[in-house]
Structure 1
Amino acid sequence: MYYFYKNEFVHKQDIQISPDDRGYYFGDGIYEVFRVYNGQIYEGAAHIQRLERTASEVRLQLPYSNEEIIDIINRLIQGNNLVEGTVYMQITRGEAPRAHPFPTQAEPIVLAYCTEVKRPLTTIQNGIQAITQPDIRWLRCDLKTLNLLPNVLAKQTALDHGVQEVILHREGTVTECSASNLMIIKDDVLYTHPANHLILHGITRAVVLRLAHALHIQVKEEPFTTNQLLQADEVFITGTTVEITSILRIDGQVIGTGTPGPTTQRLKAEFEKTFLQ
């Protein structure tokens, strides 16, 4: 498998990551995950825009233009014969002796590679279960940085409880999940937390909201509580790899009818039209 590292396309075994890489000891870096369907980047412009925004907010200079980044991704897709999967791209602030201030001489380091990821059709069709827990992350969840330990702990907590996802809340106000955005349907209205600093501005989230408007589904981007969550008619997550997946049981309580709801199903059908040929 071909990787991209330090301006070269190389084999994985030829990559040597320095212990002085600030991403290694500070998590001082950013990343983006590009979805690939039928050998093509999905919503590439939106992913690039989010990558640019995160880089700007953490004061990291991207070493390539947008066009060059897209070219790198396409060359990885073609070189690895990727039909369906993801391309992970990580950019750290570079190599420097360990010190908190930004180094003056270090240059950003880019690592990118492909992963074959099939659509999770079973969970998309049948739904998943989740639990709730307090959101202990920092207050810039809108930035896609390498600081993901709280998300890792949340996801492991879900697996420890025999469920697939954790729904996070701040003092009872639902934000999102460990690795996805969250939406609910109540009385035919779609609710989701506003895209502010408390959630990641998901690409799939944006697509779903766009589709909801096209389907004349009323949308309210406003906070809602864990009590409202449990009383919802339908609950589903959105994300690059999970697409649109229903949550049928939360903290052991059945949501709605206990099956993927009609509004969610409509959105799934329209979402598939955006990439299926």
Structure 2
Amino acid sequence: MSTVYLNGQFIPEEEAKVSVFDRGFLFGDSVYEVVPYYQGVGFRLQEHIDRLAHSLRAVSIKNAQDWQAIMDKLVALNGGGNLSVYLQVTRGSAGKRSHAYGDELEPTIFACCTDIKDVWQAGVDEVVPLKAIVTEDLRWHRCDIKSTCLLPNILVLQQAKDEGVQEALFSRDGKLTEGSACNLFLVKRGVIYTPKRSSEILGGITRELILELADQHGIQYQEIDIDYERLLAADEVWVSSSTRGVIPIVEIDGQQIGEGNKGPVWMRMFTLFSGFQRALMTGSK
């Protein structure tokens, strides 16, 4: 039985209950973060808290909590070690269903933990590359807000599954933005390219780490607009997320990418990324 946090209390998960009139349940009127903890210590915790504050400010939900204290204690109560914290903040419940809301609402705050997968243990040879499709980006224009309104993401991922592939990439006005729950990278002639930060994509913490590692190890990268033709002409395509790490894509819309296998730049980045994660997970960094 795991411990969760709900509105000021640390309780067994079976005891956690939220009102059916909560706006997060009725309207998806809520935001969230997923924060990795290695050896009981939050990874890039301040960056996650800053992104949460950005999301809360953007949707005008109160931000008056000691988020680190909540997450630190929750991780400790669940045994510490290597865990990820899912933290969700809704606008709260007014005791009725109404689109309008007043300033008196108190946010509903929920958090739980899950084990972190040891991405680094698999090694380069055991990583299974993905196949993907490109779909129209029907999401709203504030993808920089980490909102729980994920229906478009769910639908395109199901579309990908129905077509026998594992990932869907979004395209808006002729430009690639990101994946269903991941950031996008491509490689051409040894240079990494990724879509520019904007309100059309979520600034991923793993994305920033990849660029930081590239900078530290002399791998060139550029943040640019990426169209469909440039995507299909890439030597390598990858996606990244905090839960999956860095994964290569070898086929898009039935067309082979590059040589159709894991590329050398991805192999180098996976080695750098997994080594960085391994050091955190084992306490050797």
Is TM more than 0.5 here? yes
**Number of residue pairs aligned between Structure 1 and Structure 2:** 274
The answer to whether the 8 A contact 2:195-2:226 is kept is yes
1:125 is aligned to 2:127: yes
CA RMSD of aligned residues (A): 1.6
Distance 1:262 1:122, change over 3 A: closer
2:127 match: secondary structure:
helix
How far the C-alpha of 1:100 sits from its partner, in A, is: 2.1
Output aligned runs, 1:227-238, within 5 Å.
227-238=229-240
Output aligned runs, 1:35-50, within 5 Å.
35-50=36-51
Distance 1:82 1:254, change over 3 A: farther
239, 247, 250: which is aligned to 1:245? 247
For residues 29-51 of structure 1, give each alpha carbon's deviation from its aligned partner in whole angstroms, at most 9, with x where no partner exists.
11000123343322211111110
2:89 match: secondary structure:
strand
For residues 151-179 of structure 1, give each alpha carbon's deviation from its aligned partner in whole angstroms, at most 9, with x where no partner exists.
11111112212211101111331110001
- Letter of the 2:49 partner, please give it: I
In percent, how many aligned pairs have the same letter? Answer: 36
Distance 1:82 1:152, change over 3 A: farther
Give distance in 2, aligned partners of 1:40 and 1:233: 37
The answer to whether the 8 A contact 2:186-2:194 is kept is yes
Give distance in 2, aligned partners of 1:269 and 1:195: 25
The answer to whether the 8 A contact 1:126-1:260 is kept is no
The answer to whether the 8 A contact 1:195-1:201 is kept is yes
Distance 1:117 1:223, change over 3 A: same
Give distance in 2, aligned partners of 1:202 and 1:186: 22
More displaced, 121-130 or 79-88? Answer: 121-130
2:117 match: secondary structure:
coil
Match of 1:3 in 2: 4
1:136 match: secondary structure:
coil
Gaps of 5+ in 1: none
Match of 1:57 in 2: 58
1:77 is aligned to 2:79: no
Give distance in 2, aligned partners of 1:33 and 1:4: 14
Distance 1:201 1:71, change over 3 A: same
Structure 1 length-normalised TM:
0.94
Give distance in 2, aligned partners of 1:218 and 1:122: 24
How far the C-alpha of 1:122 sits from its partner, in A, is: 7.7
Gaps of 5+ in 2: 280-285
How far the C-alpha of 1:187 sits from its partner, in A, is: 1.3
The answer to whether the 8 A contact 1:119-1:242 is kept is no
1:205 match: secondary structure:
helix
Give distance in 1, aligned partners of 2:185 and 2:79: 34
Give distance in 2, aligned partners of 1:245 and 1:21: 36
How far the C-alpha of 1:82 sits from its partner, in A, is: 4.7
- Letter of the 1:59 partner, please give it: S
Output aligned runs, 1:130-169, within 5 Å.
130-169=132-171
